[in-house]
Structure 1
Amino acid sequence: MREGAVARLGLTIPLKSGIDPADELAVLSAKGYTDFWTAETSRFDAFTPLAAAASAVPSAWLGTAVASAFARGPAMLAMSAAALSCLAPGRFLLGIGASSPVLARDWNAATYERPVERVRDTARFLRAALAGDLVDEEYDTFAVRRFRLEQPPERVPPLLIAALRPGMLRVAAAEGDGVVLNWLGASDVHTVKQVVGDRPLVAARVFVCCSEDSQVVRAAARRLIAGYLTVPGYAAFQRWLGREAALSPMWQLWDAGDRKGAAAAVPDEVVDDLIVHGTPAQCAAALHAYRRAGVDIPIVKFLPLDPAADPDHASAVAGSYAEGSR
């Protein structure tokens, strides 16, 4: 965490089903959420919920965590970013990443090749395009011919790059203004910072379940962990962080087709490392642990079973976090 930095706290939106209404976002902002971020899955795209938030909460920071560099063409990505920058001038952060082969190939009929190089090239293109330059360039992974934004943003948004392992982390450090992290504990941040250094802004999605029923939390979290951390990129990330021994039984059972057995094999200590849970005050304290470790913007992602999906409970976490920042 940077010395003297404001204690920013992000929230993944939409919080509930549907796109969050203006009054809900305004209340959550007043309670302590400084940032609203999107996660691009099969639910909503990365930009539309932020367009709603831009008008609902004129003071909030908005960010994509992340928009896929494969699901859109480079020019379309630049146009979407320019639009958000105009709706929220000086308050928008553009997070891009490789996402996954499922999102690229299976859902968007796109290729998924050389992800590190594709994200690097996309970052270089966006730097030029969002600055208003005419781009006529042959990159290593794609070419853009004579593209210029008709209305480039007056204030170019910071560019953040989603990264897990050293190759993409080095791209984030070299080409981006920051990095977006995912699926790591507060104790893992030091490992990442050794690669990216202290210069980039660090945002990290943190999974939270505001419940004191640890058995229920761990049962739900095991299913989520098994579904995510068996994806090759995330599995490699966990190996790099030092969890190979702890997660090998899960990977072996998953590869054998035993999904239930794989989830059951996730150890409690892995759940507790990767999922913040407990009372609002305990959750807030855990979020501050990420800040102390070097995360500038923790981005809360409440688990589906979480009572904090109710705005009143989400407010309690933010309030406790704000109290701990004073």
Structure 2
Amino acid sequence: MQIIMKKSILMQLCLAALLFFASVQVYAYCDPKNISTSSSAVAVTSNSATDISDMLSLSSSYSYTQSSNFAGYQLACWTGGETLYYRNGIDGGYTVKFTSGDLDTYIKFTASLSMTSKSFSGLMGTTYAASDFDADMTLNAEVVSTTTYDATTSSSSMEIPVLYLLTSSGNSTYATASALRSFVATSATASAASYSNLKGFASMTVNFLPVSTTCTIENLEFSLPSTTVFALKSGEYSDSQFTIPVSCSGSVNSLATKTFNLRAYSNDLVDTSNYIIRNSASTSSGIGFQLFNSSTDPIRMSSTFDSSATSLASMTKGSDLVTSLTSIGIGARYKIYDSSNLSPGTVIGTMVIYMEYE
């Protein structure tokens, strides 16, 4: 009787053991690993920033491609591995307001990824190099006229959250791009996040600092035809008209970033109204030059780089930089400023054209 009881007890123990082992569930998973620290952590990008200022100077859009570049990380998979999902963090568009001085530029970013998902298999810690789970990211930047935005910066730099590498659970939990960005939006927050659902995060940092519009004018020399003192005293003009080429640069999408006027300055002014110029190299007496515009109106110059001088040309912020201003039409004529002291000879004078920003 005792022997039967022992067998019964042994059978119950074996049955309990079988039931126990049958209830154990084995999970297949992959975890990112920081190679330098040998610890599990979200893989983050190590890409450098890209300056897009010049690319958007004369164009409305620019695209470039980078790898997610998870260098320094491995992916270790256990008990069968798992499928990971590549999600676009700015799906549908992500507009950034860049503020530089008094200029606000709105740039809409969109992105595409080279992969949507990838399955990783493995037993007992099979490892994959970064190149095995990296993906290409193509970022497109477009200058837009909207005044609504998702992010803003006055530092000229913005980190764009482009790629999220997620588990199946993370893929369903963070169903939208905005949900992904609410979870983590920068490499810093991704590095500190749990790696249970997020396995990798890759951003693309852009720098955008538009250059203020400026114009250059080559040094030019012009000569007037000879005339006589008698002709000048009789009211006859001997003049010339000429064109000064102007080359302007510094724009966003070919549009000027500043409002400005071009005015004339001279150290050779000889009349109190600032219309006539001549310098000490002249050999004549009582005669100078008077400049006039395309409408033959006299041009008033400045001796102190101020706004009292006549505007020779102007440009408004937002106007087409390429076609709006390419040259200035100016004329010059001899002008008597001291009729009591007239004598023939040469007349020499100089002026400087300067930009006055508003």
* Range of TM-score over shorter length: under 0.3
Between Structure 1 and Structure 2, which shows a larger proportion of strand residues?
2
Between Structure 1 and Structure 2, which shows a larger proportion of helix residues?
1
Q: Kindly name which structure, 1 or 2, has the bigger radius of gyration based on alpha carbons.
A: 2
Give the alignment's TM-score, normalised by structure 2.
0.22
Give the alignment's TM-score, normalised by structure 1.
0.23
